[in-house]
Amino acid sequence: MESLSKDPSADDKQRDDGHPVKLDSEASENKISHVLRTEFDAKYEIVNLQTPLNAFMSGHYKKSFAFFTLRSRLPVILTNVIDTLTREKTELVAQFASNDFEQAAREELKIIIGLISRLKYELQTDKPFQNFTGEEPDQELWNNFINSLPPGERTFFKASSLHAECYLHRKLHSFLENSIFLKSFDFYAKLKEQSLTDSMDDVLALTKYTRRSENSLEVFNELLTINLWSNFNDLCSDPEIIKQTNRQVLQNVEATNHNVLVNQAAKIWDCLSNQKRKKQKQVDFILDNAGYELFSDFILAEYMIEKGLASKVRFHVKAHPWFVTDVTERDFKWTLEYLSQHSDYIISLIGKKFLQYLDEGTFELAPVSRFWTSPYVFNSMAQTDPDLYSSLQQSQLIVFKGELNYRKLLQDVCWDSTQETSTCLRGFLPSNVCVLRRVKSEVISGLAKGVSEALSRKDPQWMVSGRYGIIQFVDVTREFGY
C-alpha cells in the first residue's frame, strides 16, 4: 500500500480563468504561477495556513485539502461535464428528444452548458451561493439553509468546504432538473457503469474469494478491510492503481493492516453476533460509490445475512447524481440487473442471488431521502429529518461508507485526532455506528496518542493521500445506556 501514494497538490497549474498556462521554461512557469496564485490569494483573502484545530474545513486556508478541492478538483469536474455535453450533443439530442423537438433540445443543451460555465466562474471567483428558483423539490430546504448562513460564510472559499461542495453538486443537478428534455439525464451515468464493467475481473475474484467463508471474527475483519479498500475504485484514482490495489488486497489482506489506523472490527462483530441482542437485526448501509465498491457492499451484506449477523440489510442511496460517483437508485438497480445478466455464470449467479434477496426483503432499498443530498451535517438529522432519524433507530448497526459521510458525521471540523469519535458526533447516535473510511482529508478522530505526529513526520501528506483507512465503531449502549 505504501507505494500507491500520490501528492494531490502537485497538479494545480492554471490561471484564475481555469485555462492552462503555457510557458517556454519551467522556471518562468513557476514564477508566473506563483504571481497568479498570490494575486488570487490577496483578492479572495486566502491565508497561507493549515486549517486551525477545531475549525471547519474551508478554502480560506491555503494549506488545506479544502483549498485544493475548490481551486483544482471542482473546476476540473465541471470542465469534464461541459466537455461531455459538448462531445455527446448529437447523441443526447437523439436520446431525449423526438425529431420534432431536435432543435429545441439543442438550444436547451446550449443553455445548460452556459449555466455550468457560469457556475464554474462563480466557483473560481468566490461568488456567493445563489438561491434555488426553479422547481426543485428541496428548494425550501436549500434556500432556508443558504439564508441562515452567516454573511461571511456564503461564498465558495469562505464557507465550510462541505457546504460549498454540496451546494455546487446540488446546483449542477438543478440545471437538468429544471430542463424540458434532459430531466432524467445523469452526467456521470456512463462513468459509473464503466467503473463496474472495467472491474469485472476483480468482481469475479472477490466472488470466488468469499464463497464458503467461515463464520468467524477473522473472516468478518477481512471483509470489512476489503470493503474499506474497495473505495480505491472511485474515479479519482488511477486505473492502474485500482487494479493493482484490488489484486494486492485479495492476495494478502493482512498486508494492509499497517495502513488501517483504527480497527474496531471486534467490537462491530460483538455488536452483531451477541445473541442477547434482538433477534431481528437490521443493518443499514449509507452507501458511497457505485461500481466495484457497491459490489463489495453487497458481498459484505451477504455475509451478514448468511452468518446470521443480520436479518435484513437496508441500503440508502442518493436522491440524484451526487459527488460524481455516489450511488443513486438507478445505479443500485442497474448494478444488480447487470450482474444477473452477465455472461460469466458465477457473476450472473451472484447477481441473481442479490436480486432474490431484494425480492424477499432480505436486502431492501430504503425510501430515498433528500437529507443525504442536503448540506446538513448528521447531528442535525433529528431536527431536519426526524422520520429518517427514527427509521435509523430501528437498526442494530449503521454502516457509514466513505469520506463525505465521515465529514458529515464530524461536521467537517478538524478535531484533535485523539478526540473520541463519540464526542465528535455531537449527539448523533440513532444506533450503533460503524465507519469504513479511506482517509482523504484533515477531518479525523479516534486515533491513539502520537499516531498523527508519527505519520506527519513520515509522510506530511498522509491525511490526503488516501493510503490510510479507519474501521471505527461507536456503541450506542455505552453512550446512552440502552
CATH for 132: 1.20.930.60
pLDDT (average), residues 279-288? 92
If asked whether residues 269 and 406 sit together in one domain, one would say yes
Q: Is 208 helix (H, G, I), strand (E, B) or coil?
A: helix
The last residue of a domain, from among 152, 185, 218: 185
User: Are 338 and 348 spatial neighbours (Cβ–Cβ below 8 Å)?
Assistant: no
482 pairs with which residues across the strands?
none
**pLDDT confidence band for 453 (50 / 70 / 90):** very high
If asked whether residues 205 and 220 sit together in one domain, one would say yes
If asked whether residues 459 and 357 sit together in one domain, one would say yes
In the prediction, which pLDDT does 479 show?
Answer: 67
If asked whether residues 152 and 201 sit together in one domain, one would say no
If asked whether residues 220 and 262 sit together in one domain, one would say yes
Q: Mean pLDDT, the chain, as a whole number?
A: 91
In the prediction, which pLDDT does 56 show?
Answer: 96
Does residue 445 register a pLDDT over 60? yes
Strand order in the sheet with 312-316: 260-263, 469-474, 433-438, 397-401, 282-286, 312-316, 363-365
pLDDT (average), residues 68-89? 97
Q: Is 103 helix (H, G, I), strand (E, B) or coil?
A: helix
Choose the weakest-confidence range: 4-18, 173-187, 342-356, 387-401. Answer: 4-18
Quote the domain boundaries for residue 115.
Answer: 2-185
Confidence (pTM): 0.91
Give how far the C-alpha of residue 367 lies from the chain's centroid of Cα atoms, to the nearest Å. Answer: 19
Q: How far is CA 236 from CA 61, 195, 327, 440, in A?
A: 23, 11, 16, 11
In the prediction, which pLDDT does 18 show?
Answer: 40
If asked whether residues 115 and 197 sit together in one domain, one would say no
CATH for 224: 3.40.50.10880
Cell 456503541 maps to which residue? 475
**pLDDT confidence band for 99 (50 / 70 / 90):** confident
